[in-house]
């Protein structure tokens, strides 16, 4: 019998929630930690929180999150059955002319945040990781990951999981139109279906006990 990871993930989350290891702690509203099932075989990792996530304290709850929910539905994946997280846990943004917009995280911010992702993934030990977008793939698959060439390809024996794949980011898909949008959305659904099937085939964790 093994125990659930839930209490330990809560402890990691509590520590992360007061992290001040990089400058993003000065501009964030709150830390956006991962959520879902900490005993899941399937983990999805995005880039980092945006405006809505920063306000609401949950991953993928903005426009990209709405599309992710839709495609997860098509792939028969429920949020509560997976672990859903990001490479960085605080919003990276820049304010210009009174407007605040997201920006790609800097390497020092990604490095400072790595300990939280590392702690999450080492605890959960997923069978399958889906990197949502190139930044996650660069972090979790290999440093020079090229989405155009390597999307949908399975990588085995990666640092945090026996199987990892990278899929198109819903924020990228939302910038496409017409047939391009339809094709990219379909790729994401297909990649998620494959990931779910692989996770279902993975050896079951030993029966969980709450004690």
Check binding of 47 to ligand URA (CB under 6 A).
Answer: yes
For the chain, what is the total number of helices (H) and then of strands (E)? 9, 10
**Distance from C-alpha of 13 to C-alpha of 156, rounded to nearest angstrom:** 28
What residues from 84 to 113 belong to the interface with ligand URA (CB under 6 A)? Answer: 86
The mark string for 156-185 relative to ligand URA (x by CB under 6 A, - otherwise) is ---------------x--------------
Strands of 155-156's sheet in order across: 35-36, 83-86, 42-46, 128-132, 163-167, 155-156
**Distance from C-alpha of 152 to C-alpha of 120, rounded to nearest angstrom:** 24
Check binding of 34 to ligand URA (CB under 6 A).
Answer: no
55-63, 137-145, 154-162, 197-205 -> range binding ligand URA (CB under 6 A) = 55-63
Q: Of residues 34, 36, 59, 126, which one binds ligand URA by CB under 6 A? A: 59
Check binding of 54 to ligand URA (CB under 6 A).
Answer: no
Nearer Cβ to ligand URA, position 53 or 194?
Answer: 53
**Distance from C-alpha of 123 to C-alpha of 147, rounded to nearest angstrom:** 28
Nearer Cβ to ligand URA, position 36 or 65?
Answer: 65
**Distance from C-alpha of 90 to C-alpha of 109, rounded to nearest angstrom:** 9
**Distance from C-alpha of 8 to C-alpha of 11, rounded to nearest angstrom:** 5
Binding-site ranges for ligand URA (CB under 6 A): 46-50, 53, 59-60, 62, 64-65, 86, 171
């Amino acid at each position: 019998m093994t125990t659930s990871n839930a209490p330990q993930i809560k402890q990691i989350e509590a520590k992360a929630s007061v992290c001040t290891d990089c400058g993003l702690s000065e501009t964030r509203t709150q830390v956006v930690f991962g959520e879902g099932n900490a005993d899941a075989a399937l983990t999805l990792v995005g880039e980092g929180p945006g405006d809505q996530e920063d306000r609401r304290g949950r991953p993928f709850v903005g426009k990209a999150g709405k599309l992710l929910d839709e495609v997860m539905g098509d792939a028969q994946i429920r949020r509560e059955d997976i672990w859903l997280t990001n490479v960085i846990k605080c919003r990276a943004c820049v304010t210009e002319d009174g407007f605040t917009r997201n920006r790609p995280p800097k390497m020092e911010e990604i490095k400072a945040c790595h300990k939280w992702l590392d702690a999450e993934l080492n605890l959960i030990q997923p069978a399958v990781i889906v990197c949502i977008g190139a930044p996650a793939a660069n972090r979790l698959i290999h440093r020079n990951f090229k989405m155009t060439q390597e999307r949908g390809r399975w990588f085995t024996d990666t640092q945090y999981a026996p199987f990892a794949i990278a899929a198109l980011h819903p924020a990228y898909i939302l910038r496409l139109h017409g047939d391009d949008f339809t094709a990219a959305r379909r790729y994401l659904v297909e990649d998620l279906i494959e990931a779910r099937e692989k996770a279902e085939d993975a050896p079951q964790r030993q029966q969980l006990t709450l004690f």
